[in-house]
Every structure is written in C-alpha cells, then in structure tokens.
Structure 1
Amino acid sequence: MFRTEQAGARLILTLDRAPVNAINDAWLAGFHDLLDGLEARSDVALLHIRSGHKVFCAGMDIAHIADLSQRADGADAMVRDVGEFQRAFARLEALPQVVLAEIGGAALGGGLELALACDLRVAANEAKLGLPEANLGLIPGAGGTQRLTWLCGKGVAARLILSGEVVNGQTALALGLVQWSAPRDTLGEVATGLAERIAGLSAGSLREAKRLIAAAADGARDGFAEELEADRRLFDDPGTRARIARFLAGGR
C-alpha cells in the first residue's frame, strides 16, 4: 500500500493501493505505522507524498461506504471510521517535518482532506480536486470543512463544499488550495525540485517555523513570544552558527 525511499533529508512516500489509493482500515493502520517511525526522526526534513497511480487518492473506500449504508449501526460505524481519518490526518499535520503533497491526479473527498493536512501542495494543471460529499448526502468530515476554511477562507470553502464543485490544478492554484501547479508531464520534476530545495534548508529552522505557523492560527498561543524562544534555540544551535559562518565566508 505504501512505498518509501529516502534521498538525503527527503523521505518519498508513494501511495500504492491500486487502483485509486482508496483508504480502508488496513491503509490507516499502515499509515499510522509510518507516522510512528517519522515523528522522532531527525534525519528527515521533508516528507514528499505522491501516488504511484493516475489518481492521487480517492478517499474512503466506496465499497466500505456502501456496506455501512446497509447496516443498522451504520451511522455509529461511520462516525468511528471518520474519526480515525481525523486522527490520522491530525498526526500528519503535526509532524515536525515539512510535508509536501504532489497531486498528479484526482484528489477527491478524503483524498483532498489528506492533502489539506500537508503543509504544501503542488498539483498537475490537469488534476481534479474537490470535496463532493454532498452528492452522497455526506460532508467532508475528516477535517475538510475546517482545514479548507482555514486555508482559503469561508468564501472558497463555501464555494467548493456547498456546490460540490471539482476544480483543476490551475483553478486550485488561483483559489489558494495549492501553492503551485504545473503541467502533468513536468509535475514530478517540479515537485522533486521543490522537495530538494526545502530539504536543503536548516531542518531546525523548518521545524520551528512550522510550529510557529501553527501558533498563528491558535488564539491561545502567543506566537510573538514563541518566535523569540525559537530564535534563542536556533541561535544556540551549532548548525545555525555554521550556516552563518559559511554565508559570511561567501558560501551557502
């Protein structure tokens, strides 16, 4: 279901559950195992999530949804299952590493919710992105209503969720849903270039900056005070001082 490959400070995670990377219990269990191994790894600065298939991720396995719809306890089971999606995506979002989603094909429903839990998203111009759950009488309940609103604002979230609209990568870029888009035939090259550039930055700076960006969205935290604390930690880091020395010496 997953393939991983490390390249320097990058860990490339390829989703590989044919044909559309549908998410089921086994997928979630394997995903949690991957996150368990990542959370404490200091040798990985960036997690690059991509698909080994034409579709990025189709979300919850439609056969499972059909089964739940026929069960007397279907509503309780659905809430339990979607809660597991929420837990997995919250763990992904909370990773200390930067997470980049490379969206080469359709990312719909839970598949887009997975991408929304990443820090950065680059999509093929031809990709299809959307939260069309209202077509099934459902909502994007694995964090979609919340993360899309935080990311793009109420207006864009209402447009996509309340209309069920599916947009391509270029429109997603214009709406702020992704940060970059590129033609499908160059997407891998563009995504790899982004991943390499980011992974070449200071891992400590990336961790601190990611944490501080999260603080900006949390009214209970003093992001300005946390910035000062982060500055102190980073300036005391020998790695930071070595980078400054190289810069002053005309290096990189």
Structure 2
Amino acid sequence: MIEVIENGNVCDIVMDTPPVNAINDDFLTEFHRALDHIETAAPTVVLIRSTQKVFCAGADLKGIQQHFQSDSGIEDMITYVRAMHRLFDRLEKFPAVTMVAINGAALGGGLELALSCDLRVAAHEARMGLPEAQVGMIPGAGGTQRLTRLCGPGVASRIILGCETVDGAGAERIGLAEKSCPLSDLKTVSRDWAAKIGNLARPALLASKECIAAYSDHETDGYALELEKPKITMRSQEAQDRIAAFFSK
C-alpha cells in the first residue's frame, strides 16, 4: 500500500493502492508507519509519488457514503477528517524537505495531501482541484487554509468556490505547483530536483523551513527566528566543513 525506498539523502514514499490511492483508515495508518520509518532514517528530502495513473483521488467514497447513511455519520465524518488533519499536519512539519510528484489527478484530499508538502512537481497532464462543493461538502482537511496561504484568496476562490480544475502547467502559472513538465519527464525532473536539494545542508534546510512557516504564524516573529537559527547552524560541523570547503576554492 505504502512503500518506503531509501536512497541516501532522499527517501521515496510510494503510494500503491489501486486504483486511485483513496484515503481511508488503512491508508492513513500505513502512511504514518512510513513516516515513522523515515523519521528514524533522517533524510534530507522525502519524495512522495504514485504508481497509479492518478496521484491521489482523495477520500474513499465508499466510506463517505457510509457516513451519510449512518446515524452517527456526522461524528464519524469529523473523526475521519481529523485523522487526515493529523497526517497532513505531520507532513507539513516533518523534519525534511517534502516534495510530491503529481503524475495524474490530485483531487480533494489528494490535493490537500500535496498542499501539506513543501514542494510540488506536476505533470502537464495532471489535474488538480478541490471539487467538494459539487457534492455539498467543503475541502475540510486543510484545503481552504493551505491553498489560500499558498496562492492567495483569489486563486483559492477560483479553485474552491468555482470548483475549477487546473492542469500541471496551469498549476505552475498560479503558484500551485513550483515546477511542471511532461509526464514522460516527471520521474527525471522530480528525482533530479530531490537529489539536488538532498546534497544541501540538512540543518540549514530545516531551519529555513521553520522560518518560512513562521510567515503564516502570527504568534512567531520570523525575523527574530532568523537571528536565532544561526546560533545552532553555525555550530554544526557540517556548516564549518562546508564554509571551509567554499573558501578553499
């Protein structure tokens, strides 16, 4: 269902749940197990990808239907969405640079999963959207917040209120994806980018990730955090070695 492939400073999380990588309780449990394993390995980059024709189609529709038919459906639905929040919040704060390679449809919870990561590479042929309003729901697993934060309220309103889907090239134009390429090149582009980042200084990347997150946290002074982080990074042997190597040239 969820496979981990370790390759030096880069770890792949491979979603392999036919036919559409639907997010259900088993999916969430397996994803957490993969993150537990990877956190111990302490890679610099985590690359999330799919073996299916879609990246992730979101919530398991059979489970959603059961919630609507059950007397405790509302409470069960909230429990399910909270479980999605726990996974996506963990991904957002994960101690590595997280990247997704979006090969096909990333809809609803599938796009919310991608939004919880640091970087997105999308195939031109991919389709991304938050179509929950079509079925009387909202993108409640972080979509309204993360998409607005990433792309601004105008784009978020287009995607959420207008139920628009965009392809990979369109996603890059509106800032939803950082890179886009033909599907045939997606593996190479995402792997090369992951490898390039993987060769950078992990402590510096994690410190930078925390500072970037401070931008949207009104309780954290991002400027003050920038002044604090060098007290840690400059003491690291890696930073000293990299500085010495740089000046030796």
Partner of 1:79: 78
Partner of 1:102: 101
Partner of 2:18: 18
Partner of 2:7: 7
1:150-205 Cα offsets, whole Å, 9 max, x none, are: 00010000010001111101111111001000001111100011000000000111
- Secondary structure of 2:117's partner? coil
1:215-236 Cα offsets, whole Å, 9 max, x none, are: 1211111111111111121111
Tell me if the contact between 2:207 and 2:229 (Cα under 8 Å) persists in the aligned partners.
Answer: yes
Matches within 5 A, 1:138-149: 138-149=137-148
Separation (CA, whole Å) in 2 of partners of 1:181 and 1:247: 32
Partner of 1:201: 200
Query: Which residue identity does 1:13 align to in structure 2?
Result: I
Separation (CA, whole Å) in 2 of partners of 1:12 and 1:39: 12
Tell me if the contact between 2:171 and 2:177 (Cα under 8 Å) persists in the aligned partners.
Answer: yes
Q: State the shift of 1:40 in Å.
A: 4.7
Matches within 5 A, 1:159-198: 159-198=158-197
Separation (CA, whole Å) in 2 of partners of 1:129 and 1:239: 39
Partner of 1:63: 62
Q: State the shift of 1:135 in Å.
A: 0.7
- Secondary structure of 1:142's partner? coil
Partner of 2:123: 124
Separation (CA, whole Å) in 2 of partners of 1:40 and 1:192: 22
Partner of 1:31: 31
Matched-pair identity in %: 46
Separation (CA, whole Å) in 1 of partners of 2:194 and 2:38: 17
Separation (CA, whole Å) in 2 of partners of 1:182 and 1:174: 12
1:114-144 Cα offsets, whole Å, 9 max, x none, are: 0000000000011000000011100000000
Tell me if the contact between 2:3 and 2:34 (Cα under 8 Å) persists in the aligned partners.
Answer: no
Query: Which residue identity does 2:213 align to in structure 1?
Result: A
Q: State the shift of 1:30 in Å.
A: 1.1
- Secondary structure of 1:121's partner? strand
Partner of 1:158: 157
Q: State the shift of 1:80 in Å.
A: 1.0
Separation (CA, whole Å) in 2 of partners of 1:224 and 1:166: 36
Separation (CA, whole Å) in 2 of partners of 1:15 and 1:238: 36
- Secondary structure of 2:166's partner? strand
Tell me if the contact between 2:130 and 2:139 (Cα under 8 Å) persists in the aligned partners.
Answer: yes
Alpha-carbon distance change, 180 to 211 in structure 1, aligned in 2, over 3 angstroms: same
Q: For this pair of structures, how many residues does the alignment match?
A: 249
Separation (CA, whole Å) in 2 of partners of 1:18 and 1:224: 45
Please say which of residues 164-173 and 29-38 is displaced more in the overlay.
29-38
Structure 1 regions of 5+ residues with no counterpart?
Answer: none
Separation (CA, whole Å) in 2 of partners of 1:175 and 1:219: 25
Query: Which residue identity does 2:18 align to in structure 1?
Result: A
Tell me if the contact between 2:130 and 2:159 (Cα under 8 Å) persists in the aligned partners.
Answer: yes
- Relative to the length of structure 1, the TM-score reads 0.97
Partner of 2:133: 134
- Relative to the length of structure 2, the TM-score reads 0.98
Tell me if the contact between 2:4 and 2:34 (Cα under 8 Å) persists in the aligned partners.
Answer: no
- Secondary structure of 2:81's partner? helix
- Secondary structure of 1:87's partner? helix
- Secondary structure of 1:141's partner? coil
Separation (CA, whole Å) in 1 of partners of 2:231 and 2:140: 39
